[in-house]
Structure 1
Amino acid sequence: MRFVINLDGITIRRRMGSLLALWVALFCSSGAAEEASRPTSIRNRTMLTQQQHPLTAPQKQTAAIAASAATGDIPALNAALHQGLDAGLTISDCREILVQLYAYAGFPRSLNALAELMKVAEARREQGKNDAEGNTPGPLPKPEEMLAVGTQNQTTLAGGPVKGALFDFAPAIDSYLKVHLFGDIFSRDNLDWKRRELATVGALAAMTGVESQLKAHLNISRNVGLTDAQLAELVPLFESRGEQNTAQRLQRALESGSAQ
């Protein structure tokens, strides 16, 4: 499928292989541009600049935490949470990664992972480790604004508006993704969009049967300022954690899903 996007006067052409790969790239809505100036959009849109340096330790651990949580591997998640907090992630960072996870791996995995984070945080306090609590989100859009804000966030993340027969067939899922995932979760600015995408890439790489969505999120990761070289740093990270299948899925997606 080919779609053409006009964004800030620049015409972008990109070929994408699967309709299902568009499930997070997504949609358009009249009036979305009007929401571009809203504070939550501005705070997150500042995170779209190209990252010039390799992934930081907190960025890598963001992907590791999400990958372990997505597969329900609690011992691996425990280790990843300790490593992430030691690397400088805050309690709020870890909590936000695991809250977002429910949109990709479901409530049961998210809830179990959050319960493990509570245990880890308490154990570390008892050990005398003073982990920073971190920031809470800034003001969120009002409920009646979520659709427009979410559509704008989607369009920015995807690089332009996208339509598909799948969303005409199931308009409810279109609405849920726009209003809640992109209007609510992606407006929570206590985790920037680069780390949200690293968490999503980590989770999807760890899961089976979601290769199309993984490729779509690699493209979104590029749109928010991450490079293929930076994303490829996650492959040896997963290998070092003994997560060979996750590493292989990510490597294959990077090799086959580069933007054209």
Structure 2
Amino acid sequence: MEITDYSNKYHERMFPGYKSKLLETDPEFIERFDNFAFDEVVNSDDLDDRTRMLAILATLIGAQCVNEYKAMVKAAMNFGVTPIEIKEVVYQAVAYLGIGRVFDFLQATNEVLSDQGIKLPLEGQATTTTENRLKKGIQAQVDIFGTQMAEFYKSGPVESRHINHWLADNCFGDYYTRSGLDYKTREMITFCFLSAQGGCEPQLTSHAVGNMRMGNDKAFLIKIISQCLPYIGYPRSLNALRCVNEAANQVEKTK
């Protein structure tokens, strides 16, 4: 068995001129992996390269794969993902993984961008202020999930109600409202954060519904799961598929 022409060409597009040392140390493994990830998987659907790369970056952050992430940042830029888009993926990850798990990715991103000659900081993308972040965050929740979210920030037991408030002003008001990525793409990368880290199936199902409301239908989400499977394996991919099916059933019932 040899690495296919398609796999070799795709790898060259991602990493021009780079030859992996694994070709020498682990030739049997790299043949099977490259042929699977860069030929069989890539050719399994019609997802465009830019979307695929954004999904993979978000998935690698969710799975805490910082070394693979650094490599794929370069590949993503070779496929047209902009530095601003990459930074927005990292920033939004903080809301879903916390700074403790994202800090190394922020540092890694800055390192890669600087090595590529890109001046930091990048152009600002914030669209909210301290005064209006709650209002705009609530509107983002409504736009994505429906009118039932208008009063959600005030709901729940008194002792924990502040967390729902933070979801509105911080998660959505501080991050989702930023330019650089639209709501549709932000919901897609959130789906990837959640599916990759595992243990978040209720939230994953909820955001699968949000994706569908934004136009990322069941077929699209299955493509996202498929393209990210080589990076997180089968158990979490199958869990994500189950959540997508549950979300599709929920959406169908509301029609």
Is 1:219 paired with 2:209?
yes
* Structure 1 residue 155, shift from structure 2 partner: 1.0
| CA displacement at 1:165 relative to structure 2 | 6.0
- Runs in 1 of length 4+ with deviation above 6 angstroms? none
* 1:98 corresponds to: 90
Identify if the C-alpha distance between structure 1 residues 250 and 65 changes in structure 2 by more than 3 Å, giving closer, same or farther.
same
Give the structure with higher Rg (CA). Answer: 2
The more displaced of 74-83 and 186-195 is 74-83
Q: Identify which of structures 1 and 2 has the higher relative contact order when contacts are C-alpha pairs closer than 8 Å and 6+ apart.
A: 1
Is the CA contact (8 Å cut-off) linking 1:55 and 1:233 kept in structure 2?
A: yes
**1:187 to partner: Cα distance:** 1.3
Matches within 5 A, 1:1-260: 55-125=47-117, 136-137=124-125, 140-162=127-149, 163=152, 166=156, 168-241=158-231, 243-258=233-248, 259=251, 260=253
| Separation in 2, partners of 1:244, 1:106 | 25
- In the superposition, the TM-score normalised over structure 1's length comes to 0.70
Contact 1:98 1:113 in 2 (8 A): yes
Paired letter, 1:64? I
- TM-score, normalised with respect to structure 2: 0.71
* SS of equivalent to 1:144: coil
Are 2:90 and 2:106, in contact at CA under 8 Å, matched by a contact in 1? yes
1:83-116 per-residue CA deviation (whole Å, 9 max, x = no partner) reads 2111111111111100110000010222111111
Give percent identity, aligned residues only.
Answer: 21
5+ long unaligned stretches in structure 2 = 1-44
Give unpaired runs (5+ residues) of structure 1: 1-52
Structure-2 separation of matches of 1:60 and 1:179:
29
User: How many angstroms apart in 1 are the aligned matches of 2:124 and 2:132?
Assistant: 20
Does structure 2 conserve the Cα–Cα contact (< 8 Å) formed by 1:167 and 1:173? no
Distance of aligned partners of 1:167 and 1:158 in 2 relative to their CA distance in 1, 3 Å threshold: farther
User: CA shift at 1:168, angstroms?
Assistant: 4.9
Structure 1 or 2: larger helix share? 2
- Once superposed, what is the RMSD of the aligned Cα atoms? 2.5
